[in-house]
Structure 1
Amino acid sequence: MPRAESSATSKPRSASFTPATHRRGSNVHDRHALTARIAGLGTCLPDKILTNKDFERMVDTSDEWIVSRTGIRERHVVSEGESVATIAVEAGKRAMADAGVEPEEIELLVLATATVEQPIPATSAIIQPALGIKNATCFDIAAACSGFLYAMHVARQFIITGEVKTAMVIGAETLSRYTDYTDRATCILFGDGAGAAVLQAAPAGEGILRSALHTDGTYADFIQMPGGGSKYPPNVKEHIDARLPFIKMRGNETFKVAVRSITEVCQEVLAGAGVAADKVDLFIPHQANLRIIAAVGERLGLPPEKTYLNLEHVGNTSSASIPLAMREAIDRGVLKRGDLVLLAAFGGGLTWAATLLKW
């Protein structure tokens, strides 16, 4: 039983970064007397674990090398018979139980994943029957590691406009199925997992206070999976031989853009909410890389003790990262009711997002 928790054709380009001038932070936050709050959180981690010692037998690497560059020691991966759908369903059921809601009350499901169950239909539709949410409109969002925050933002709009009263958001990934285990630069990073949140209406000033989303497609080849789509179809031997159906990253360049963009979007939501950084009780970033997280925290002026980390034992789980960390922080007594929490993520697209909420 899974646990509850927690480029091929591109040309080199500089990682210089100009932030988008159009801000989606949104006057919409200030026009409504309602917002959305997280009423319940549920997570799922597969039982199987890959440690850094396992990777020492697979590629030219070492535990010391991996830890020093990423902070990761182990990660969970799905076994035969498990998939992104199975772990998403488990997380969703646990979220409903935590919120004390019945499946029939869920009117909307927004599922964020980069590792779909199959191209058609949407993974959210596939898991609807198993969750029992027969009254829910279901659709997927593809925003990579920023997906959970994108999905929460979208679900919140449905709630504050009165379209729905209760929504579910899920971030779920089986990155191990798209990882090239001969590429030591990427295979050490990724783990599988799922996290789900039930959102309900709340008075303005509670729950989600502010959020912002951004995209810059000029950096699309920094983090990508080139094969498997219409450009490089999966049924072509040459594409498989070129390892195109696997995750590719331009790590050094991505690092520079990630630090800057995460810092700026966090500053954006704090300024939009009229909150100083020193008022934040807990910072929960996407768990991608310890060095990125440390650099962002330093630029925001947040002391290390205010930053929650769990990538050491889960790795980079993409869209599942933030709900996994939140659930673990709650269970460990680190995240408490009334806390001011800053969430931030960065991923392929490139996409980046931040959310400020009162827990």
Structure 2
Amino acid sequence: MIWSFWLLEFSIYLPMAFFTFIGNYFNQLGFSDLQNGILGSTAAIIILLSNPFWMRVSDKRVKNAVLTFISFVTAFSIWLIYIFRNFWAIFLISLLVGFLWTSIIPIAESMASYNASKFGFSFGKARMMGSLGYAIVMLIFGYVTDHFLFFLIGSLSFAFIGVSSLLVPKTQGYNMNQKVSFSFKNLPPQFYRMLVFEILILSSNAFGLYFMPVFMRARGYPISFAGISIAVQALAEIPFFFFADRIIKKLGVKKMLVIGSIMFGIRWILTFLITNPVAIVAIQSFEFFNWVAIYYAVFYYVNSKISPFNRSDAHALFWMTTSGLSMIFGDVFGGWISNTLGVANGYLFFGLFSLGIGLIYAILEKSPDLSN
């Protein structure tokens, strides 16, 4: 039984690699960095609507069935992006596709975290399989030059999720057969402050990953280094997830958030300063305590501090910030910075930005339930 959740976590991050690397495809179509950033942010824009919608739908049904439906429909839908070459046509299609695929990870991980508590296995260890799957596909994409093959791998990745979701035990929504209304008052204020922090810090991750192929191309390095770089950061997450439960209990939520943001700042500043491509690849291993630490800290808070009655809404808000608002800021604003100042200067900006936000949060956040 546990192996099925490991397989599910492995599968749901395969398409993430596709949408991380699709900026390289748009760049080869001749779109500007700003246009590229706008297209990269479409999923982040639509997730503000799709996530609450699909989380509500899955909350009142068997989640496996909802996840299977979304996965197979998306597997066919992404080919529309391949067919069209016009910027505005791709923009509209990307919004449509994003309405579907952006809720796959939230639904799947709500299933995995619920069953981890129910059956007594470590969610962190299951989640590390997602990093492994993401890393494998990113390595492959670094060497894929044919556009048709690129989209074929992406389509098969979504289909694989649909199959994997049928293998895990049936998981019912938190509020089946109940009428539930969302209220901002039901969630603690420190949770909202945490989400604001997350939006700002994870925007640097959105920029750093999405524009990595553009950055490598601008410096004259082989594009394969971009795939290797992102694969390295995904593999660096695996040791963290193996010890995630111990780390969060030792440090607490606040310390994890602050350390993660400072490490982000150092990572992007070094990416800007260093000119050796092999060294740049090595620096991406800082991810062992970057996005992964911030993601897990907030995810842990939702599943341990917020009641099951309100947990679905908290999950929706969590993913709206993690994969929504942070990506809009990182991709669109980052694309503007890249267009105006150069892509390398974008890494310097977000490095300094992450350091500043981390220090401000360390000083101002006083909530006791964020400590270990």
Asked if Structure 1 and Structure 2 have the same fold, meaning a TM-score greater than 0.5 normalized by the shorter chain, the answer is: no
Shorter-chain TM-score range: 0.3 to 0.5
Greater share of helix: 2
Name the TM-score, length of structure 2 as normaliser: 0.32
Name the TM-score, length of structure 1 as normaliser: 0.33
